A = this chain, B = another copy of it.
Amino acid sequence: MQRVLATLSYDGARFHGYQRQPHDRSVQGEVEKALATIHKATSWPSTSSGRTDAGVHGIRQPVHFDTPLTIPEDRWPKALNSLLPDDIYVHTCRHVPQSFHARYDAVGKEYIYRLTTAKEYNVFKRHYICHNDRTLNMAAMQAAASQFIGTHDFTSFSSPKTDVVDKVRTIYLIDIAKEGDDWTFRFIGSGFLYQMVRVLMGTLLEVGSGTRQRDEIETIMAEKNRALAGKTAPAHGLYLSQVFYDEQILADYVKKFQ
């Protein structure tokens, strides 16, 4: 068997999340349906770097699968794309050792949150950027974000609906950029808990719009109580941007924004 690592993008708008579900449309379900067809099987397993919620998008989601077929790695994208629906696209495939694991070998992940403070609603961006009515204070959000950097217990900033016990994660970078009315929030960390980026975002937005103080973060973190943090920001502004498997590449990438 040959292990293949695929990187795919998907528009999360019409999926009930990444993970396969018995009745609802999922990214994993569509990918495995295509793999099953190629392998002339009734089902074919795949393993992604992680899940994303309904509405959340993927820019470069890594997924590995094993195959007995001798298809050259550069032919895999075309084979898969010809079978996938138009809201999933395989960008690259490459052969990896059997020891490689898309989830366990990840050393870092980048998420991007897109937000606009444009006055008018834009029908063409409604699934791709979160609309925020309030004026945002960049400096206040940057000050709050700096308190998330480093290794912390993020219990207060993630959904309690999880079996994960260890809530300690390391955030390497939160970069906030603005172009006109459109904001890009970039989160790079060792890994993120369930809904963690959306809770961090929701909390930053409350700081940015002045309904929460920038110096509250440390206290909230220490309390380990989800109820104290901000609202979970809407899913449709969130993108799993990329996953890192090499510490040096990750470190070099983070440096670009520092």
CB of A214 within 8 Å of the partner chain: no
Chain B residues whose CB sits within 8 angstroms of the CB of A11 once the complex forms: 123-124, 126
B57 A124 Cβ-Cβ under 8 A = yes
Name the segment of A85-93, A101-109, A140-148 touching the other chain. A85-93
Choose among B89, B121, B124 the residue that contacts A121 (Cβ–Cβ < 8 A).
Answer: B89
Which residues on B sit within 8 Å (CB–CB) of A10?
A: 123
Could you say which of B91, B122, B123, B128 contacts A124, with CB atoms under 8 Å apart?
Answer: B128
Check if A166 is an interface residue, CB within 8 A of chain B: no
Beyond A9-B122, A11-B126, A89-B123, 11 extra complex contacts between A and B, CB < 8 Å: A9-B124, A10-B123, A11-B123, A57-B124, A81-B121, A86-B123, A87-B123, A87-B126, A89-B120, A89-B121, A91-B120
Would you list the 7 A-B pairs with minimal beta carbon distance, nearest first?
A: A11-B123, A89-B123, A89-B121, A9-B123, A87-B123, A86-B126, A11-B124
